[in-house]
C-alpha cells in the first residue's frame, strides 16, 4: 500500500496547471468505438482509470497508444467482438460506458458489471431504462449485462434521477441507433457537453447537451476525430480548496472558470478572496475561514466529488457547518479519519455537522476512495505536525502528479 508523509501547517502559494478531465476522458475513450477511423484525443490525463480503460480496449483488439504524455491515439477498427468480460469491467466504474458504446456500435453486447469506489449503492437501472427505450432487451446474468436488439431505434426516455452515467450511456447507444432519441431530465455536467462535441465531430447529431433535454440523431456513416478534453474542474476545485484550507494563495491555470462557479461562490462565503480571468482562478485563503452550509447537487450545484475536500477545510473553520450529501450516501467514511486528527464532526445519515476546531493534528489516516484521498491530503496539509496517509492508490485513479504539484506550491509531502 502506497502512502504519503505530509508535514502540515504551510501555506501553499504559486500556480498549478490543471490537466484534462478524467470524467470526460473515460466517456470519450469508449466513444471512439463509434468512430470510423483512428481518433486522436489530446489533453488526456494519464491517471490510472484512463490507463485501465485503455488496457481493456487493447485486450479487446483495439490499438490504443500514447503519442506523448497527454495525447492518445485510438483505432478501434479491429475490435469485432461485442463482449467485455467482468474480470476487465470490475476494475473501474467507468467501464460501464462500454455498455452504451458497444451497443451503439454492434446493436447488441454482453458487458460485465462495473467496479469502482465504494461510495454507496451505484445502481444502473436508469442506464437500462434508456437502453430499453431504444428497443434493446437487457438481462443481468452471472455478473454480465446481456443486451440484445433487432437493431436500435431512436426513442424517448425520461430519467427518474439525474445521472451522469446514464446520460452518457444513452447518448453513446443512441449515436448508433436509427432515428432520433430524446433524453429528458438529462445530466448537465460539462463532461456531457464535451462528449456531445466529440460525437458531433464524428457525424452524430447531438443538440441540447448542457440542458435537461438532449436530442441525439444517430448516424450510420460516421467519421474520425481529433478532440481535446476539457479541463478537470474537480482537480481545479481541489487545488482551490487547498489554497483556502492552508490560508495560501494559489492560481489554478488552464481552467474554465464558469465550471467552477459553485466552488468559487462557497469559498467566497468562507472568507476567501477569489479572482478570475479567462482561463484561471486565484484563491487567497483567509487566515481562518468561517463555517458555511453546503448541499451537494447535480451540476450546476456543488459537486459531490468536492464534498470531501471541502469538509476537510470546514473542519478548521470558525463556527458550525452543515454538509448535506444528496448524491452518494456513503461519502462520509473519511470523517472517521478526520476525527483521528481532532476534527469535531457528527454524521447523521446524509448530513455531517462540522464544529470547526482550532487545530487539526497530524495522524495516521487511511483513504478508502478517490475523493476521500484528496480530502485527507488537504486535512494533513492544514494540520500541525506530521501525517501518514495510506490508500494513495485511490488518489492516482483521478489525479495526475498530485504530490508533485503540491510540492511545487510549497507543500512538504513525499511518497513513502
* Binding letters toward ligand UD1, positions 192-231, x by CB under 6 A: ----------------------------------------
Identify which range of 61-69, 144-152, 162-170, 317-325 contacts ligand UD1 by CB under 6 A. 162-170
Contacts (CB under 6 A) with ligand UD1, residues 368-387: none
Span near ligand UD1 by CB under 6 A; candidates 163-171, 224-232, 283-291, 405-413: 163-171
Q: Does 125 bind ligand UD1 (CB under 6 A)?
A: yes
Task: Say what the alpha-carbon torsion angle 161, 164, 165, 171 is, to the nearest 10 degrees.
Answer: 100
Report the b/e string of 386-416 with b at 16+ CB within 10 A.
Answer: ebebbbbebbbbbbbbbbebbeebbbebeee
State the DSSP string of 38-51: -EEEES----HHHH
Torsion angle, alpha carbons of 49, 55, 57, 59, to 10: -150
CB 304 within 8 A of CB 322: no
Rounded-to-integer distance, Cα 186 and Cα 253, Å: 29
- Alpha-carbon span 413 to 400, nearest angstrom: 15
Query: Which cell numbers in the block locate residue 166?
Result: 446514464
Closest contact distance (angstroms) between CB of 165 and ligand UD1 is: 3
Q: Give the nearest residue (CB) to ligand UD1.
A: 165
Instruction: State which residue, 24 or 62, has the beta carbon closest to ligand UD1.
Output: 24
Letters for 320-359 (x = contact with ligand UD1 by CB under 6 A, - = none) are: -------xx-------------------------------
Of the residues 126, 224, 312, 366, which one makes contact with ligand UD1 according to CB under 6 A: 126
By CB under 6 A, residue 123 contacts ligand UD1: yes
Which CB, 191 or 337, lies closer to ligand UD1?
A: 191
Rounded to 5 degrees, what are φ and ψ at 179?
Answer: 95, -170
C-alpha cell at 132: 430499453
Measured from the CB atom, the residue of 185 and 284 that comes closer to ligand UD1 is: 185
Tell me whether residue 251 or residue 350 sits nearer to ligand UD1 (CB atom).
350
Region from 32-40, 122-130, 269-277, 380-388 binding ligand UD1, contact rule CB under 6 A: 122-130
* CA-angle at 109, arms to 106 and 111, nearest 5°: 140
* Nearer CB in complex with ligand UD1: 190/247: 190
Which residues are CB-contacts of 196 (< 8 A; sequence separation ≥ 6)? 171, 206, 209, 210, 214
Indicate whether 412 belongs to the interface with ligand UD1 (CB under 6 A). no
Stretch that binds ligand UD1, among 34-42, 161-169, 332-340, 405-413 (CB under 6 A): 161-169
By CB under 6 A, the residues from 245 to 284 that bind ligand UD1 are: none
What angle do the packed helices 125-133 and 164-175 form, to 10 degrees?
30
Strand, helix or coil for residue 120: coil
Rounded to an integer, what distance in angstroms lies between the CA atom of residue 72 and that of residue 68?
7
What residues are labeled active site?
Answer: 117
Nearer to ligand UD1, 327 or 338 (CB): 327
Minimum gap (Å) between residue 95 Cβ and ligand UD1 = 10
Minimum distance of ligand UD1 from residue 27's CB (angstroms) = 7
Within its chain, how far is the Cα of 45 from the centroid?
A: 12
End-to-end alpha-carbon separation of the chain, Å?
10
Decide whether 5 or 297 has the Cβ nearer to ligand UD1.
Answer: 297
Interface residues with ligand UD1 (CB under 6 A) are: 23, 26, 93-94, 121-127, 161, 163-166, 187, 304-305, 327-328
Amino acid at each position: 500500500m502506497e502512502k504519503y508523509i505530509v508535514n502540515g501547517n504551510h501555506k501553499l502559494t504559486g500556480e498549478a496547471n490543471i490537466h484534462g478531465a478524467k470524467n470526460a476522458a473515460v466517456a470519450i475513450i469508449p466513444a471512439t468505438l463509434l468512430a470510423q477511423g483512428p481518433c486522436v484525443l489530446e489533453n488526456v490525463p494519464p491517471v490510472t482509470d484512463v490507463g485501465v480503460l485503455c488496457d481493456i480496449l487493447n485486450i479487446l483488439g483495439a490499438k490504443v497508444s500514447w503519442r506523448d504524455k497527454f495525447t492518445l491515439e485510438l483505432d478501434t477498427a479491429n475490435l469485432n467482438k461485442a463482449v467485455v468480460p467482468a474480470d476487465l469491467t470490475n476494475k473501474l466504474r467507468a467501464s460501464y460506458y462500454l455498455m452504451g458504446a458497444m451497443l451503439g456500435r454492434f446493436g447488441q453486447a454482453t458487458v460485465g458489471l462495473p467496479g469502482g469506489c465504494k461510495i454507496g449503492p451505484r445502481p444502473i437501472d436508469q442506464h437500462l431504462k434508456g437502453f430499453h427505450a431504444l428497443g434493446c432487451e437487457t438481462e443481468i446474468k452471472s455478473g454480465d449485462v446481456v443486451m440484445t436488439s433487432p437493431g436500435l431505434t431512436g426513442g424517448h426516455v425520461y430519467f427518474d434521477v439525474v445521472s451522469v452515467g446514464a446520460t452518457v450511456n444513452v447518448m453513446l447507444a443512441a449515436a448508433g441507433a436509427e432515428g432520433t432519441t430524446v433524453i429528458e431530465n438529462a445530466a448537465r455536467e460539462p463532461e456531457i457537453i464535451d462528449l456531445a462535441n466529440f460525437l458531433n465531430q464524428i457525424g452524430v447529431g447531438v443538440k441540447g447537451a448542457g440542458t435537461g433535454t438532449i436530442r441525439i440523431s444517430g448516424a450510420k456513416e460516421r467519421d474520425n476525430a481529433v478532440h481535446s478534453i476539457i479541463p478537470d474542474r474537480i482537480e481545479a476545485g481541489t487545488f482551490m480548496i487547498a489554497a483556502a484550507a492552508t490560508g495560501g494563495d494559489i492560481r489554478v491555470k488552464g481552467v474554465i472558470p464558469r465550471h467552477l462557479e459553485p466552488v468559487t461562490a462557497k469559498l467566497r462565503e468562507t472568507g476567501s478572496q477569489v479572482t478570475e480571468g479567462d482561463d484561471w482562478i486565484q484563491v487567497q485563503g483567509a487566515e481562518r475561514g468561517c463555517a458555511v452550509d453546503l448541499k451537494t447537487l447535480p451540476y450546476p450545484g456543488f459537486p459531490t466529488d468536492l464534498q470531501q475536500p471541502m469538509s476537510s477545510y470546514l473542519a478548521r473553520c470558525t463556527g458550525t457547518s452543515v454538509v448535506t450529501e444528496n448524491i452518494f450516501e456513503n461519502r462520509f467514511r473519511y470523517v472517521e479519519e478526520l476525527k483521528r486528527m481532532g476534527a469535531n464532526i457528527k454524521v447523521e445519515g446524509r448530513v455531517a455537522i462540522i464544529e470547526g476546531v482550532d487545530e487539526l493534528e497530524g495522524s495516521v489516516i487511511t483513504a478508502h476512495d478517490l475523493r476521500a484521498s484528496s480530502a485527507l491530503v488537504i486535512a494533513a496539509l492544514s494540520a500541525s505536525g506530521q501525517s501518514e496517509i495510506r490508500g494513495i492508490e485511490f488518489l492516482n485513479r483521478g489525479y495526475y502528479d498530485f504530490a508533485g504539484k503540491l510540492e511545487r506550491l510549497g507543500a512538504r509531502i513525499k511518497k513513502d
